[in-house]
Amino acid sequence: MTSRRLFLRGLGGLTTSGIYFCNCCNADEIPSLVPVGGNWDKGGQDLGNDPTLSYRHPLAGTKRKPFFYNGKRIKVIDTHAHCFFPEAVLLAGTGSYVNGAVKGGPEHYIPASAKDIIQRRIENMDAKGVDMEVLSVNTFWYSKDKELAVEICRINNSNLAELCEAYPNRFAAFGSIATQYPEIAVKQLTEIMKNPVFKGVAIQANVAGVEHSDPRFHPVWAKAEELGAVLFIHPQGTPQLAQRFKGNGWISNVIGNPLDTTIALQHLIYEGILDKFPDLKVLAAHGGGFLGSYAARMDHSCFVSPSNCNSNISLKKKPTDYLSQIFFDSLVFTPEGLRHLVAQVGSQQIVVGTDSPIPWEDFPVDHVLKTPISDAQKAAILGGNAAKLLRITE
């Protein structure tokens, strides 16, 4: 750890330029420098940082016409957008999986000084009609020791703050916390929320295999509730099913990611966490996975099989009623999918999410506008709900 620290300190002058960083991870080696955005790692840590994966929106260079409701321009807020910072990725070491070989991979790297890549991100946002992205770093530090995890989070949060302060109208952020060390996570959360660019924190759908409902994490959720910090729950697959996910189609993502979120949310509901913390603001990625599509089954399980339910847990509401207590992003691809989510959870619970810079949804505004719901509901989903949830005023 000490050697990593020293190494980063030595690298500090270079990384703050945002132009270069080291492609090795051994403090004893002399750094060999390659451009950020260059193809610096083929060891499995960051296959996404490959220039051939760079992505431009098909309408890049144009600006999508804004949406007005009742004479007011709607500020479109994308709550599901990612980034990485080279220093933190480097510090994690080559054994850490960070970024997959996906389109938009290079556009993840946006330290405040990487002006060209940031400009590419903003062009893609303009083409999509997105005014603001709320950035988050997908976790890759949950298996790290305390000192390393804290340092990775510190680097992420410092870079996120610098970036958002440099582009206050285009970026806000969900900070990084070392959730696996709850006492530290509480302190990090408290510190993060002192800076208004942070709207909450991004957490994985489980904490190194432990569910969020585990009592050890309750102090973290209590602090988030107290501070009004949004918990953005983002999946990272379901590795327990890796054998069945083998084969064509990237099923580990197509099914594994939404399933991961679904499991996380079901535990929050069934274990009574949303009763214990009724004002906790939970925002679930990818439309909450499969939860909204097949929610009603939840209401029957403990009736059908009481022996599979904990008689010490007495929920205040039926399980599906908790859906209107959770926020969901709109990343469900079809107008019919979004219409159903609105019917299931309520339009006031849905905000725009795209997974930027990964091009899962290039036309998020049109996706909402084509959905058979009222204009008031469309305006709320495009921006009003997120502005209220995240306390974004202008």
Q: Which residue's C-beta sits nearest to Zn ion?
A: 355
Cβ closer to Zn ion: 182 or 357?
Answer: 357
Contact of 299 with 241, CB cutoff 8 Å: no
Choices 7-15, 90-98, 145-153, 352-360 (CB under 5 A): range interacting with Zn ion: 352-360
Q: Least separation, in Å, of the C-beta of 353 and Zn ion?
A: 8
| C-beta atoms surrounding 39 within 10 Å | 17
Residue 35 preceded by cis peptide, ω within 30: no
Q: Count of residues binding Zn ion (CB under 5 A)?
A: 1
Least distance CB 376 / Zn ion (angstroms): 28
Interaction between residue 133 and Zn ion (CB under 5 A) = no
Q: Shortest Cβ distance from residue 354 to Zn ion (Å)?
A: 9
Among 41, 78, 107, 355, binds Zn ion (CB under 5 A): 355
Query: Mask: binding to Zn ion, 210-249, rule CB under 5 A, as x and -?
Result: ----------------------------------------
Nearer to Zn ion, 173 or 186 (CB): 173
CB 369 within 8 A of CB 64: no
Q: Please report, for residues 57, 122, 169, 368, the alpha-carbon distance to residue 361 in angstroms, rounded to integers and kept in the order given.
A: 10, 15, 22, 11
Tell the smallest beta-carbon distance from residue 348 to Zn ion (Å).
23
Q: How far is CA 105 from the centre of its chain?
A: 15
Write down the least CB distance from residue 365 to Zn ion, Å.
18
Quick one: 107 or 355, whose CB is closer to Zn ion? 355
Q: At a CB cut-off of 8 Å and minimum separation 6, what does 201 contact?
A: 174, 175, 176, 177, 188, 189, 192, 224, 229, 230, 231, 232
CB 152 within 8 A of CB 141: yes
260 part of the interface to Zn ion, by CB under 5 A: no
Q: Report, in this order, helix, strand and coil percent for the chain, each rounded to 5.
A: 45, 15, 40
Closest CB to Zn ion among residues 150, 163? 163
**What SS3 state is found at 186?**
helix
The DSSP output letter for 383 is I
**Minimum CB separation from Zn ion for residue 80, in Å?**
6
Does residue 361 interact with Zn ion by CB under 5 A?
no
In the complex, the smallest distance separating the C-beta of residue 138 from Zn ion, rounded to whole angstroms, is 7
- Min dist CB 61 to Zn ion, Å, is 25
Only segment of 126-134, 177-185, 353-361, 364-372 that touches Zn ion (CB under 5 A): 353-361
Measured distance CA(229)–CA(198) in Å, rounded:
8
Nearest approach in angstroms of CB 175 to Zn ion is 16
Task: Name which of 355 and 361 has its Cβ closer to Zn ion.
Answer: 355
Closer residue to Zn ion (CB): 138 or 325: 138
DSSP-based three-state secondary structure for 198: strand
* 50 vs 355, beta carbon nearer Zn ion: 355
3-state secondary structure of 133: strand
Judged by CB under 5 A, the stretch of 52-60, 84-92, 309-317, 355-363 that binds Zn ion is 355-363
Tell whether residue 78 is a contact of Zn ion (CB under 5 A): no
Residues from 158 through 177 that contact Zn ion (CB under 5 A): none
Kindly list the distances between the CA atom of residue 207 and the CA atoms of 39, 41, 50, 212, in Å, as whole numbers in the listed order: 30, 26, 29, 7
220 torsion bin: left (phi>0), alpha (psi -120 to 50), beta (else)? alpha
- DSSP single-letter state for residue 66: P
The residue ranges that bind Zn ion (CB under 5 A) are 355
